Amino acid sequence: MIIIPEEKPKDKIKYQRQFYPGTEKVSERRRKIMDPNRRLVKLRDIPDDDIILLLGHRAPGALYASVHPPLDEILEHEDPIKSIVEPTPGARAGDRMRFVQFTDSFWRPPFAPWLRARTYFTRFRGLDTVIYSGRQLLEMRERDLEATTKLLIETEVFDPARTALRGITVHGHALRLDSDGLMFDARRRYIYDKDIDEVVYHKNMNAEVLDIPVPVGRPMSDEELQEYDVTYRWDTTAYKSRTELLMIVTRITRMRILGGFKPDLVANM
């Protein structure tokens, strides 16, 4: 008779989420922003009513419009997933879907569109998001969106001069900075008020004139922007050598062109 020795149970290894690799300063910034267990530093205080004015979806004090009754009032079939996934406050109340769109300047912003997507999915719930060239569209239930927008504006991931709310006519993120250091905006939604040393929105994100201007804080200094930078640059943390970086960019460009024209050509690269 063959006796098979009893295997000892293996110690279970607790899974740890990996947010971003690297030990450089820029890598650490990216990890902090994406990690929901790490608190973002609050730099300014924007009243709730001002957030509502900037978004332009409803008047301050108005009731939330709904697309369905509150979940607690709906009789639905038994679904085990519903007992596992806790609905957000907006979903529970039946709020309609609304959006906010941020654009990040090409010139040393504290956030970036591609990093926004990763951060939104790790820090928030009940959302849909789309990445464009220099902007990021975020859709959520209305009251959830207002709470999320408040967090994104009040903390270290927002600079009044290099980050902006733009629902329409978003281009300008990669163009020049204005003489006052603000990111160019064709709609002129905001100005720099030197008397109070703050950026003030005179229009909401959809370029509709506000009855009451909304100040969003002072622009960050060059030293602060460099400290909060999330992009590898030659004057922060160089990502690669110039030669290697150009080789990688060239290869990506060739693969996009050849792959789009005839995918079989990519196999020979």
User: Mean pLDDT throughout 208-230?
Assistant: 95
Neighbouring residues of 266: CB distance < 8 A, sequence distance ≥ 6: 255, 258, 259
What region does 56 belong to: left with phi over 0, alpha with psi -120 to 50, or beta? Answer: left
Mean pLDDT of the chain: 90
Confidence class for position 236, pLDDT limits 50, 70, 90 = low
Pick the CATH number of 25-238 from 3.40.50.300, 3.40.190.10, 2.60.40.420, 3.90.320.20: 3.90.320.20
Based on the number of CB atoms within 10 Å of its own CB, is 220 exposed (0-12), middle (13-18) or buried (19 or more)? Answer: buried
Locate 77 and state its tokens: 């079939």
What is the Cα–Cα distance from 156 to 225, expressed in whole angstroms?
A: 10
Q: What number is the average pLDDT over the span 221-230? A: 93
Q: Are strands 209-215 and 198-203 parallel, antiparallel or unpaired?
A: antiparallel
**Mean pLDDT across the stretch 30-42?**
96
Strand partners of residue 214: 201
d(CA 19, CA 50): 33
- pLDDT score for 140: 98
**Residue 44: what residue type?**
R
Tell which wins on pLDDT, 4 or 247. 247
**Position 238 pLDDT exceeds 70:** no
Q: CA-CA distance, 177 to 183, in Å (whole number)?
A: 5
Measured in degrees and rounded to the nearest 5, phi and psi for residue 181 equal 90, 0
Measured distance CA(214)–CA(202) in Å, rounded = 7
Q: Which of 46-60, 111-125, 255-269 has the lowest mean pLDDT?
A: 255-269
- For residue 10, the model assigns a pLDDT of 59
Under a CB-based contact definition with an 8 Å cutoff, are residues 253 and 266 in contact? no
In terms of Cα–Cα distance, which of 185, 136, 148, 146 is closest to 50?
A: 146
Pinpoint the alpha helices (H) of the chain.
25-34, 48-55, 80-84, 89-93, 113-123, 142-154, 222-228, 242-261
**pLDDT tens, residue by residue, 94-139:** 999 999 999 999 899 999 999 999 999 999 999 999 998 789 999 9
Domain boundaries, the chain: 25-238, 240-269
d(C-alpha 87, C-alpha 71), whole Å:
9
pLDDT (0 to 100) of residue 251: 85
- Choose the most confident range, by mean pLDDT, from 15-19, 90-94, 230-234, 242-246: 90-94
Distance CA 140, CA 158 (A): 19
Q: Is the dihedral of CA 23, 25, 30, 31 positive or negative?
A: positive
pLDDT band at 1 (very low <50, low <70, confident <90, very high): low
DSSP state of 65: P
Neighbouring CB atoms inside 10 A of 142's CB total 22
